[in-house]
A = this chain, B = another copy of it.
Amino acid sequence: MEKIRRNERMSAMMKILADAPNRIFTLSYFCELFGAAKSTMSEDIDILRDVVKQFGLGELETVTGAAGGVRYRTVASKADAQAYIAELCQQLSGTSRVLPGGFLYSSDILSAPEAVRRMGEIIATEYYAAAPDFVLTMETKGIPVAMCTANALGVPLVIARRSSKVYEGSAVNINYVSGSTGHIETMSLSRRAVKEGQRTLIVDDFLKAGGTAKGMVELMHEFNIEVVGMAFVMETASPEKKRITDYKSLMVLDISDDDQPVATLKPADWLMA
């Protein structure tokens, strides 16, 4: 085999690490892949750590111990997160996206690959330390962001459904009260999807009164799963009091209640702090 140069090793390593965020790769894995000595690979990793930091591309961490190695995390800096969310807020604000009934059209943003990747990375940054075993979302609109958050955290995504499906096998169903409409809704999760004792991060697109979010928390209690965090793309300014606490949203939405309703979106306070 022709000798592989440092620039070649580092570029390939960057891609391999970034394709599997939060997964620990052993030094031996890369030594074997590139036919390089451990000392050489250590040097490569030291340089790569600085590159990733310098260009705001996340974080490279060396993990010591028996299961040690190197892992990549999509960590977004506060400044980058602020700038990106402020840009999204501007894009979503105004009159053109307000729908009859005072709703905001946001489906395009919620399934635009770059937008959901960036939002997923910002959410993941806040919850690496909480070490969830999986990300839970409720179908449908939040799935892409939840997927990207799960990818960044290196854990599976689990999707709760509005009703049980034959192809999900036996399921646990709960009823909950929708916070906005007061109607009784159903939420269903396959028994095979999760295991008792796991930890979950709840991610969804929208938080209004918090009925659905509260339903997800209750569903997790049925499975003896600990909710280690809740994150939402958008929350409404009103009602101010939600049915859940200890959550983070990226944007706060306010739609004026007049003949020409205007949507105003602002980055959430914690993000700007």
Which residues of A are interface residues toward B (Cβ below 8 A)?
Answer: 6-8, 10-16, 18-20, 33, 47-48, 50-52, 54-55, 57, 99-101, 103-108, 111-114, 116-117, 139-141, 143-144, 147, 150-151, 154-159, 161, 166-169, 190, 192-193
Contact = CB atoms under 8 A, between A and B. Distances in A.
Contact of A144 (B13, B117, B157): B157
A60 to B, nearest CB: 10
B8 A11 contact: no
A10 B55 CA distance: 12
Contacts of A57: 12, 15-16
A219 B168 CA distance: 27
A110 to B, nearest CB: 9
Given A107-B193, A147-B147, A51 B99 contact: no
A103 B10 CA distance: 45
Contacts of A18: 15, 18-19
Contact of A159 (B6, B111, B155, B157): B111
Contacts of A13: 11
A166 to B, nearest CB: 5
Contacts of A154: 113
A106 B101 CA distance: 38
A103 B170 CA distance: 12
A16 B140 CA distance: 29
Contact of A140 (B103, B105, B140, B158): B140
Nearest to A55: B12
Nearest to A20: B114
Nearest to A111: B157
B151 A19 contact: no
Contact of A14 (B11, B139, B140, B158): B11
Contact of A7 (B7, B116, B169, B192): B7
9 contacts: A8-B54, A11-B48, A15-B18, A99-B168, A105-B167, A105-B168, A107-B192, A108-B192, A147-B147
A147 B15 contact: no
Given A8-B10, A12-B54, 15 more contacts: A8-B54, A10-B10, A11-B11, A11-B14, A20-B114, A101-B166, A106-B167, A111-B158, A112-B156, A112-B157, A139-B139, A139-B140, A140-B159, A143-B143, A147-B147
